[in-house]
Amino acid sequence: MSSPESSEANGESKPVGIAETEHVSVMPNEIVQWVREIHPTTIIDGTYGAGGHTRLLADVLASSDDTPAIQPRVIAIDRDPAVVRRDEQKPWIEDNPKIELFLGSYESAPKALDALELTHADALVLDLGLSSDQLADRHRGFTFTIDDAELDLRFDPENGVPAYRWLQQHSEKEIADAIYQFGEERFSRRIAKQIVLRAREKNPVTKVGDLVEICRRCVPRSRNHDIHPATRTFQALRIAVNDELGGLTRTLASAPDWIAPGGRVAIISFHSLEDRIVKNAFRDDPRWEVLTRKPLRPTDEEVEANPRSRSAKLRVATRVE
C-alpha cells in the first residue's frame, strides 16, 4: 500500500468492519469500452472500492512491448483505509505489476502520479456511488437499518469529523442549508430545528436511529412510498462531511493538467448534484470535448442483476490539445 503523500504505509489504526467485498461495479462493460479505445498506458481508477473496475481496466492496458519506456499501470485510489487494508496484500494486487493501490482521495491523483515518477495519465475513471461494503459496515452509519450505529458517514473514519459532531458544530441555519442544498430536502428547516432542539435538551443526535426518528416525524410520507424519509438528509450530511462536491469540482478543474491529450475521463454519478457538476465541467472547459451528448444509462439487464445501478449516469470526455 502507498499513500499519494508518502510511499510508506500509514500507522496502526482502529479496526473497521470491512472484511470481504459485497460490492458489484456499475456499468463495467461501458467503462471498458470507452477506455480501451485509446489504448491507454496509465489509467487512474480514482474510486477503487471493491476493485471491479480496476481488474477489468488492467486487461485493457497497452502492452509493455508497445511502450517499453513506461510500465503500463492502473493506479487505484481509495480514501477508505479499511478497503486498502483489505486488498493491499491480495495476490492479484501484490503480485501484479500492472496495479498500484494508493490510500487517498481521487483529488490526490497528481500526487500518486508523482510518486510513480509520472506526469500524466491516459484515463481517469470515477464511480461516485456509495459502496455496498460501506452500506454493510455497521460502524459507519450509512444504512438506516442499524439504529444504534454511530452517525459517522465518513469515507475515511481516520480523518475529519463524524456527522454527529458536524451537527454539533454548526448552527440551525447551516444545518438546514446543507440538508436543502446537498439533499434537496424540502423539509430541511423542520429537520434542522429538531436536531438543534435535541442538542439544547442535552440529548444530541449521535446515532443513526436518532436522525431517522427526526426525519420520520418531519418528512410527510410520499405517495409512492419509494423514498425513505431519511434518504435525502443522510445524503446531504454524507456529502457535507466528506466534501464530496468540492472534491469533485476541484478534481475536474485540475484534471486537464494531468490527463494527456487524447486521454479520457469517464465518470459515473448517481444523483443530480454530481451529474450537474460533471456536465458543466465538461461543457464549460475548452480543454474537454464531450463524447456523450446525453449521459449513458445501465442496461435493463444490469439493473435487474444489480438494482443499485438503476440511477447511474455515465459521462465521458476527452482531453483536447
pLDDT tens figures, 185-212: 999 999 999 999 999 999 999 999 999 9
Domain identity same for 234 and 257: no
- Cα distances from 93 to residues 78, 98, 189, in angstroms, run 14, 8, 47
Domain identity same for 56 and 103: yes
Domain of residue 212 covers: 138-242
Instruction: Specify the pLDDT at position 135.
Output: 64
Instruction: Specify the pLDDT at position 10.
Output: 34
Instruction: For residue 287, tell me if it sits in a domain.
Output: yes
Instruction: For residue 8, tell me if it sits in a domain.
Output: no
Read off the CATH number of the domain in which 207 is found. Answer: 1.10.150.170
Instruction: Specify the pLDDT at position 36.
Output: 96
- Residue 128 has φ and ψ, to the nearest 5°, of -85, 5
Ramachandran category for residue 86: left, alpha or beta (phi over 0 → left; psi -120 to 50 → alpha): alpha
Instruction: For residue 7, tell me if it sits in a domain.
Output: no
Instruction: Specify the pLDDT at position 273.
Output: 95
Last residue within a domain, chosen from 202, 223, 242: 242
Domain identity same for 220 and 265: no
Per the CB < 8 A criterion, the answer to whether 233 and 191 are in contact is yes
E strands present in 65-105: 73-78, 99-103
Q: What is the pTM of this model?
A: 0.87
Instruction: For residue 81, tell me if it sits in a domain.
Output: yes
How many domains, in total, are found in the chain? 2
Q: 3-class SS at 256?
A: helix
Mean pLDDT, 10 residues at a time, the chain of 321 residues:
42 37 80 96 94 93 75 94 86 87 95 96 93 67 84 92 97 98 96 97 96 96 78 95 96 98 97 96 97 96 92 97 82
Instruction: Specify the pLDDT at position 313.
Output: 97
Instruction: Specify the pLDDT at position 245.
Output: 97
E strands present in 246-293: 259-269, 288-290
Last residue within a domain, chosen from 179, 212, 242: 242
E strands present in the chain: 42-45, 73-78, 99-103, 121-127, 259-269, 288-290, 313-319
Domain identity same for 42 and 116: yes
Residue (of 159, 128, 133) closest to 47 by Cα position: 128
Last residue within a domain, chosen from 207, 242, 277: 242
Domain identity same for 159 and 189: yes
Instruction: For residue 17, tell me if it sits in a domain.
Output: no
Strand partners, 264: 123, 318
Buried b (16+ CB within 10 A) or exposed e, 151-178: bbbbbbbeebebbbebbeebeeeebbbb
Domain identity same for 191 and 273: no
Domain identity same for 183 and 271: no
**d(C-alpha 116, C-alpha 108), whole Å:** 13
Domain identity same for 70 and 123: yes
Instruction: Specify the pLDDT at position 13.
Output: 33
Instruction: Specify the pLDDT at position 83.
Output: 87
Handedness of CA 220, 225, 229, 233 (dihedral sign): negative
**d(C-alpha 296, C-alpha 30), whole Å:** 9
Domain identity same for 293 and 201: no
Give the length of the chain. 321
Instruction: Specify the pLDDT at position 134.
Output: 63
Domain identity same for 110 and 152: no
Domain identity same for 63 and 86: yes
15-33 per-position pLDDT tens digit = 333 345 556 789 999 999 9
Q: Would you tell me the crossing angle of helices 208-218 and 188-200 to the nearest 10 degrees? A: 130
